[in-house]
């Protein structure tokens, strides 16, 4: 892999050189900053010792947040889908009533 396809990021003061397509560099850098922040937050809490354990706790916290947000999105999608079905039913009834009223 050529040097132009890699990005160097710092997480807990360690450098990682990661292969990455050019159009994903910004996303990778943002993800690394986010992970670094979460790991520093956990480490500063003092309850978790060791970079490996801090990384696992950060991964669990991030995964929990992601799954929680996905569940909320799924609920919102269900509510929106039900609302659209209700509106379509009302439109169908209104069109049916209008057609019946004209004797067509």
Is residue 4 within 8 A of residue 22, CB to CB? The reply is: yes
CA dist., res. 102 & res. 95, Å (int) = 11
pLDDT per position as a tens digit, 22-52: 999 999 999 999 999 999 999 999 888 899 9
Range of the domain at 28: 3-102
CATH number for the domain that contains residue 60: 3.30.160.880
Which pLDDT value is given to residue 1? 44
Percent of the chain with pLDDT over 90: 80
Q: How many domains does the chain have?
A: 1
Q: Work out the number of other CB atoms within 10 angstroms of the CB of residue 62.
A: 15
Angle among Cα 29, 32, 33 to the nearest 5 degrees reads: 85
Residues 6+ apart with CB under 8 A from 15: 8, 9
């Amino acid at each position: 892999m050529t040097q132009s396809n890699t990005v160097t990021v710092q997480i807990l003061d360690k450098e990682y050189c990661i292969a990455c397509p050019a159009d994903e560099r910004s996303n990778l850098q943002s993800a690394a900053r986010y992970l670094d922040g979460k790991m520093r937050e956990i480490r500063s809490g003092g309850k978790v010792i060791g970079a490996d354990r801090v990384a696992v706790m950060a991964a669990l916290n991030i995964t929990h947040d992601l799954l929680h947000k996905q569940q909320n999105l799924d609920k919102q999608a269900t509510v929106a889908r039900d609302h659209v079905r209700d509106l379509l039913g009302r439109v169908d009834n209104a069109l049916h009533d209008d057609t019946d009223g004209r004797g067509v």
